[in-house]
Amino acid sequence: MIKKNKILIFGVNSFVGNNLYNFLKTRHIVTIKKYSKKNLRIVNDYDYIINCSISRNYILKKYSKKNDFDLNILNHLKNDNTKYIFLSSRKIYKPKSNITEKSKIECHNHYEKNKLITEKRILKIKPNSSIILRISNLIGYRKNNSNRVHKTYIDYFLEQISKNIIIDNKKNFKDFLDIDTFVKIIDVIIKKKIVGTYNISIGKKIFLNELNNWLLFYYKKKNKLNLIKLPKAYNQKSFFLNNKKIKQKIDIKISYLNLKKECIKLSKRIFSSKNF
């Protein structure tokens, strides 16, 4: 009988945390907790720790240890056998096509700089038992949460729709990944005891106009939306990540079709509600 891993997830109100918990709990022994000083006492009882909580000040202000929840968790972690999964961001890279883990780092705002600082500190503390995941845009349904501190592409998209507009993104593209594929990747990382730094993404260009059409699939008033054309000087900073390094370690299909299905499913959930 295969021994199940004991996994601790911080972030009871987190979009990523809840999706991870709901998927992993049928495959491992999983606990999800709110990030708090009290709950830091239990970190040494687990095989894996994943933090999905974040401080508003970590996003908006210059780096401070007190705002770095991941570092605070690690400072309480004395069990050398516990592996740490850090959810970093693709935003630490300079935007371009085919970004690898060795591509140029270019941080501009506090959030990007803070993620990079945390990465470096984690690797100093747990160089052989940490997993750094530089994650692209995740697509999936998230419940309304008044305490949410981080906006996603979907949030900005819905803001536009609520104002009866849609942006013409021309040939601008970004990199996305459906949340169902993401949680499966985490599961395989845990089962195969993978460590290191990896890009987590679909690994190809996703044109924003096409993505928006998928998201509008069930929107009955899409023909009445005002199309806003961006000025020529506007730079969308198109990019996509190279995901070959993680694909060499896992046997999960990361597909364009899964992303499309997730967007259409999300469209149905959003636009069948009374708010629209």
- What is the pLDDT, as a whole number, of residue 142? 82
Q: Is the pLDDT of residue 202 over 70?
A: yes
Pairing between β-strand 137-139 and β-strand 176-178 as defined by DSSP bridges: parallel
State the amino acid at position 23 in one-letter form.
F
Whether 19 has a pLDDT exceeding 90, the answer reads: yes
Nearest to 148 by CA among 267, 55, 33, 40: 55
Q: Classify residue 106: in a domain, yes or no.
A: yes
Judged against a pLDDT cut of 80, whether residue 22 lies above it is answered with yes
Q: Range of 186's domain?
A: 6-271
What SS3 state is found at 131? strand
Contact 268, 218 (CB under 8 A): yes
Residue 236 has pLDDT above 90, yes or no: no
pLDDT above 90 as % of the chain: 86
Is residue 276 in a domain?
Answer: no
Query: Which DSSP string do the residues of 91-110 spell out, in sequence order?
Result: GGBPP-SSB-TTSPB---SH
Please indicate, yes or no, if residue 1 is contained in any of the structural domains. Answer: no
Mean per-residue pLDDT, 209-238: 87
- The dihedrals phi and psi of 268, each to the nearest 5 degrees, come to -65, -40
State what percent of residues in the chain have pLDDT above 70.
94
Q: What is the pLDDT of residue 150?
A: 74
* pLDDT reading at 255 higher than 70: yes
Q: Using the 8-state DSSP alphabet, how is residue 173 labeled?
A: E
pLDDT band at 231 (very low <50, low <70, confident <90, very high): confident
Over residues 47-93, the pLDDT tens digits come to: 999 999 999 999 999 999 999 999 999 999 999 999 999 999 999 99
Type and span of the H or E element at 262: helix 256-271
Report d(CA 15, CA 115) in Å as an integer: 19
Distance (Å, whole) CA 62 – CA 73: 20
pLDDT value of position 146: 57
What's the predicted TM-score (pTM) here? Answer: 0.94
Token representation of residue 1? 């009988």
Answer yes or no: is 94 within a domain.
yes
| Predicted local distance difference test score (pLDDT) of residue 152 | 86
Q: Would the pLDDT of 1 be above 60?
A: no
Considering the domain boundaries, does residue 244 fall inside one?
Answer: yes
Q: Is residue 141 in a domain?
A: yes
Reported confidence tier of residue 229, pLDDT bands at 50, 70, 90? confident
Residue 232 has pLDDT above 80, yes or no: no
* Average pLDDT of span 148-168: 88
Q: What is the mean pLDDT of residues 119-141?
A: 96
**CATH at 177:** 3.40.50.720
Q: What single-letter amino acid sits at 225?
A: L
The DSSP result for 8-50, as a single string, is: EEE-TT-HHHHHHHHHHTTTSEEEEE---TTGGGGGGG-SEEE
- The domain total for the chain is 1
pLDDT at 145 over 80: no
